[in-house]
């Protein structure tokens, strides 16, 4: 099969594979049932071990009629200034979580985002990927 006929690559595939590999390692080590803050801390350690740059608890600016009110929105992690991660420890990912991620992606003009729900037996079933 020629390269032209090969399956198209996902946007930022190499980076997102590294990020998801780090999240899976954290979940394999800790399992479900902890607070979101524990997973965030450990995921940051794992991202650092893998040489990935990230920012934590980044303020998401909201503009209303030319004014930037302090609405208190903070995303969990921004990796390599490209991929937004919203971490959850919930029974199931709800549509409001997906709307939150998409809003953050639009406001910050970031192309890829993930919701990662650590409260699942197998992490792959707790991951939602969004692309703008």
- Tell me: the pLDDT tens digits for 92-126? 999 999 999 999 999 999 999 999 999 999 999 99
State the total domains in the chain: 1
For 126, the domain range is 10-131
Residue 101 covered by a domain:
yes
Look up the pTM and report it.
0.89
Q: Is residue 22 part of a domain?
A: yes
With respect to residue 3, please indicate whether it lies within any of the assigned structural domains.
no
Give the Å distances, CA to CA, from 43 to 63, 67, 84, 96, 110: 31, 34, 13, 23, 20
d(CA 97, CA 46): 24
| Predicted confidence (pLDDT) per residue in 6-47, tens digit | 555 666 899 999 999 999 999 999 999 999 999 999 999 999
């Amino acid at each position: 099969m020629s390269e032209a006929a090969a399956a198209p690559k996902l946007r930022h595939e190499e980076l997102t594979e590294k990020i998801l590999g780090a999240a899976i390692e954290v979940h394999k080590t800790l399992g479900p049932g902890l607070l979101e803050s524990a997973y965030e801390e450990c995921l940051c350690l794992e991202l650092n071990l893998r040489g990935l740059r990230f920012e934590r608890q980044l303020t998401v600016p909201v503009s209303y009629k030319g004014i930037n009110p302090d609405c208190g929105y903070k995303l969990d992690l921004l990796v390599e200034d490209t991929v937004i991660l919203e971490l959850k420890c919930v029974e199931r990912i709800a549509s409001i979580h997906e709307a939150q991620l998409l809003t953050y992606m639009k406001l910050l003009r970031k192309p890829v985002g993930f919701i990662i729900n650590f409260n699942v037996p197998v992490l792959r079933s707790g991951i939602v990927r969004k692309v703008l």
